[in-house]
Structure 1
Amino acid sequence: MYRTARSSRRTFGIAVAAVAAAALVLTPMNAATAAPSAKACEQRNNNSVDKLLECVKRGGVLEHLDAFQRIADENGGNRAAGLPGYEASADYVADRLTRAGWNVTFDEFPYTYIGPSTLTQLTPTEADHETGAYTGSGSGEITGTIIAVDVVLAQPADTSSGCEPEDFDPAAFAGETDIALIQRGTCNFSVKVENAVAAGAEAVIIFNQGNDPTREGLIVGTLDPLVVDIPVVGASFAAGVALAEAGSTAFISVPQPEERPQRNVIAELPGKNRDNVVMLGSHLDSVQAGPGINDNGSGSAALLEIAEHIGKLKPQNTLRFAWWGAEEDGLLGSEAYVEGLDQAQLDRIALYLNFDMIASPNFIYMVYDGDESGYPAPVPVPEGSIQIEDLFESYFTALRIPYDDAEFSGRSDYEAFILNGIPAGGLFTGAEVVKTEQQAAIWGGTAGAQYDPCYHLACDTRQNIDAKALYVNVGAIATALFTYAYSTEKVNGVKGAKFTIGDLLPRPAGPQGTVGGSGGLAHEHGVREAA
């Protein structure tokens, strides 16, 4: 009895220390809170949250972001799949992990690279429109007449353009070379394109809907599982308006695809229980338009910095970290990885935690909505996901930091895991959605601006992050890591240590309720649906 009580008090003290350490990352380093030296951090076993965060506070996360920026600068301005910037990023992460004592492997998967596409309007005015090829597009060069298909340019631009075969006038597509101009809305892109091909279109342009600020910029998605022989490219709403003018003609070029196999970086730290694996992951690639420092250098750098400081840890459960490739092209790396596991290997994975965009400059703190209190999930939510959400919410509650729900939409690398029944959760600080007045009053920042104004743009640079949001989320990741490294009983029923830090955190205070509909929508990588 006495020993149990003493153990409880000791564990409670560790939990309080962990929360206090997490609070320290919110303040600048000074003489009173100076972190241990780099040498001390390398030599000691950082076997608690407070020890780990003392070392993380030295600024290593920001140093990794600087490294990703340098890699992009030296490789055409991006770290996109199929290009040298991604390869250099993967080598950088693998080298740092190997030196930190992790077992590092490269998980290769097939990848079809399509180079930069072109969309040039020729008449009635000349203009080069920003574009990109849809996954599943054919290649080639086409010059032809634009045929607008049931587009609605007046707001609110409610449209089902291209969703029905009847939307395509056979007489209009009887010309020599016709390009279908289709607007986003209502049905999957694959349905729109399939109907266009059946009508005789030689190419397709799908432009954004324009019905709210998040649907005005360039839209490029996936036709999966559809693959077509004709070029299919994207455009912004403004470009669509211009191309819809009477007498419009255009030139479209989609380069010939190349097979360029890509690599996920997988690092493992064996635990006493080899059959209960705790996975954490983030995508390492950027879009071709920019260096991707918030999206997703932020999640990648946070996991790398944490991993570097726990190489001497002896956890109860095996830890496995992943840096995914080709996420921006439709979650390809994580999907290929999970598809490559047999059922026994899948059964060993206790849970998966995902960190994608955790330092948005106009942030709000969000936790994946496993209990569907803010959103009905469009995908199955495996049992145990609610408990993961509760743990992250308890962390924010302990620090008296407001938080809200992020839709559990399956639009990041956790999708393949939850579709295979593996509990998942994670953190998110926002992408293209516009911050409301209510949210600005709670979290600060600028109402009327996107959570990340540089989302998928060239300006997603080292200056495009909020360091406070980044370090608050690093504390949350560390808290979850040390909880699940020692026990996943609350998630999957596998017993471990009797007490963990998570056991003694306060009950969640509850989300702020500022999101719903599209308010916390995760960013749309590989988006299939137009609605």
Structure 2
Amino acid sequence: MYKKTMSAMLAAGLVLSVGVASAQEPVQKPNAQAASAFDNKIIKKISSDNMYNTIAKLSAQPREAGTEGEWIGVQYIKSQFEQLGYETELQPFTFNEVVRGTGSLTVNGATLDPYVFSGSYSAEVTADIVHVGLAKSGEVPDEVRGKIALIERGEITFVEKIQNVLDKGAVGVIMYNNSGTSNRFGQANAGQNIPAVAITRDQGLELVNQLKGGPVEATIKVEGSGFVEKTSYNVIAKMKPHKNKDTNQVVMIGAHHDSVAGGPGANDDASGVSAVLELARVMANMPTDTELRFVTFGAEEKGLLGSYHYAGSLSEEDADRIVAHFQMDMVGARDAGGDHPAGGLIMYTIDGKKNLVTDLGSAAGARTAADTVIPYGQLGRSDHQPFHELGIPAALFIHSPLESTYHTPDDTLDKIDKNKLQEAAEIVGASVYQIARPDTPALEHARVAPGPVDYDFNDRPPGA
């Protein structure tokens, strides 16, 4: 689909407008004065004070998905979009919250101290133990029926191992580690109605030896564990283009509004949401030939659940209309980015390849306050991933390496840098406007057409 989209944009002259350098074209840096005239409609209106105030409101309480804190944040975000005149909706979706309870394990009367699998079924069972090795499909013996399966960790996932012995009729799972001295591991899936606990490697090998001498009986007891269904939300805001200039294209700007449990999430990702809301404010009354779609996603911290739900809800026709997705995650931390240029801002793509979003973003960085050609890298783990999988050009804008307060209760407002907020919003805002402004289908004939820039791959992991 990306090739299809790019072909359509080439036909419209849009790719020429963004200045994608080719082997046949000389690479040039845009004229700063001319570029300023092009971008000032956006960047002069962006206020880091507004973004800072938004972060203050959102980070007043943790916003873990499915909690009252998230709901408070969602209502605030929705109200801001509505006040700006956007067509706004909440998109609810449910997910299973994993709960790890408590448990006990006795073997031939001896008490062990097991680790209860996250999401394990809560039950008490007593039965003989059968060692089933790695519990790979096709290798689980029939004799495990009605018994407790002793499984070695490794090679396949926890849930696959559980399912393989469950399918053979096992009534309980004891899994021992394949290395080290820890017993803190294990995850079950909803619907796997069998209690599962973990023990250390030494404990597991001791049970293997005991089984050589005859039957070994065990009792597993798990309480308060399983899955709780919760609801999270995506907040979607749309602004239709001028009806006489509509190109039938959509450009998306996103962030995730949830935080980790117990964390105020000032940078992760109230900062991204603040930039989304600020760009929505700046662009609310601008003439465009492209639909603007701003989305804040829920349950990113639970595994990109909100963005996958949203992407999955798109019709093929609607997905084909989306020409670019800009994702902002953690764009305001004072202590992120190390000594890299532009505060360490980088654009990550899923496949490590350039696309329309990175072309626009790097050129915009050279024209705006950052005055830096922003590099690109390769990374998933954020809400740009579902859009890439639909063939939509997408990139994550983030400061890397991450700050030490990432995913902690210390991710607070006082760690936010207004300059970083301003730069990131300017770059994304200038990039989006270059697509959405009414003259982009013929921008090569416009009075101001920013030239191409050359930008490099930076193999910079977030923790580097």
- Do the structures match in fold with TM over 0.5? yes
Distance 1:415 1:333 in 2: 12
- When structure 1 is superposed on structure 2, of 89-98 and 301-310 the one drifting more is 301-310
Q: Secondary structure of 2:395's match?
A: strand
Matched, 1:486 2:437: yes
Cα offset for 1:395? 3.4
Matched, 1:49 2:42: yes
Tell me which of 389, 392, 406 is aligned to 2:377.
Answer: 406
What's the counterpart of residue 361 of structure 2?
A: 392
What RMSD in Å do the two structures reach over aligned CA positions? 4.6
Matched, 1:266 2:286: no
Cα offset for 1:323? 0.8
Q: Secondary structure of 2:331's match?
A: coil
What percent of counterpart residues are identical?
Answer: 22
The answer to whether the Cα contact below 8 Å between 2:300 and 2:383 also exists between their aligned partners in 1 is: yes
Q: Secondary structure of 2:251's match?
A: strand
Shift of the 175–263 alpha-carbon distance from structure 1 to 2, 3 Å rule, reads: same
Shift of the 456–182 alpha-carbon distance from structure 1 to 2, 3 Å rule, reads: farther
Distance 1:325 1:476 in 2: 24
- When structure 1 is superposed on structure 2, of 495-504 and 258-267 the one drifting more is 495-504
Tell me which of 322, 326, 350 is aligned to 2:295.
Answer: 322
What's the counterpart of residue 313 of structure 2?
A: 340
What's the counterpart of residue 460 of structure 1?
A: 411
| One-letter amino acid matched to 1:64 | T
Select the structure that is richer in strand: 2
Unaligned runs of 5+ residues in structure 2 are 1-29, 208-217, 338-343
| One-letter amino acid matched to 1:406 | G
Q: Would you say how many aligned residue pairs link Structure 1 and Structure 2? A: 407
Shift of the 180–370 alpha-carbon distance from structure 1 to 2, 3 Å rule, reads: closer
Shift of the 405–351 alpha-carbon distance from structure 1 to 2, 3 Å rule, reads: closer
What's the counterpart of residue 22 of structure 2?
A: none
Distance 1:107 1:17 in 2: 38
The answer to whether the Cα contact below 8 Å between 2:38 and 2:448 also exists between their aligned partners in 1 is: no
Cα offset for 1:510? 1.8
The answer to whether the Cα contact below 8 Å between 2:99 and 2:225 also exists between their aligned partners in 1 is: yes
What's the counterpart of residue 20 of structure 2?
A: none
The answer to whether the Cα contact below 8 Å between 1:296 and 1:357 also exists between their aligned partners in 2 is: yes
- Kindly provide the CA deviation profile for residues 151-195 of structure 1, in whole angstroms up to 9, marking residues without a partner as x: xxxxxxxxxx95845997999x79965675736xx6555434434
Q: Superposed, which structure 2 residues align to 1:33-432 within 5 Å?
A: 48-53=41-46, 56-57=47-48, 59-70=49-60, 72=61, 78-109=62-93, 111-114=94-97, 116-118=99-101, 133=118, 137=119, 139-141=121-123, 162=134, 164=136, 182=153, 187-188=156-157, 190-195=159-164, 197=166, 200=170, 202-203=172-173, 228-230=192-194, 252-253=222-223, 255=225, 257-272=227-242, 273=246, 275-360=248-333, 361-363=335-337, 364-369=344-349, 372=352, 386-398=355-367, 399-401=370-372, 403-409=374-380, 411-430=381-400
| TM-score (norm. length: structure 2) | 0.70
Q: Superposed, which structure 2 residues align to 1:486-525 within 5 Å?
A: 486=437, 495=441, 497-498=443-444, 503-504=449-450, 507-511=453-457, 513-515=458-460, 519-520=461-462
CA radius of gyration, larger in = 2
- Kindly provide the CA deviation profile for residues 21-60 of structure 1, in whole angstroms up to 9, marking residues without a partner as x: xxxxxxxxxxxxxxxxxxxxxxxxxx7123223xx13x12
Q: Secondary structure of 2:249's match?
A: strand
| TM-score (norm. length: structure 1) | 0.62
Q: Secondary structure of 2:248's match?
A: strand
The answer to whether the Cα contact below 8 Å between 1:139 and 1:231 also exists between their aligned partners in 2 is: yes
Q: Secondary structure of 2:292's match?
A: strand
Unaligned runs of 5+ residues in structure 1 are 1-9, 20-46, 73-77, 151-160, 211-215, 374-384, 436-450, 490-494, 523-531
| One-letter amino acid matched to 1:324 | F
Distance 2:303 2:223 in 1: 22
Q: Secondary structure of 1:107's match?
A: strand
| One-letter amino acid matched to 1:350 | V
Higher relative contact order (CA 8 A, sep 6+): 2
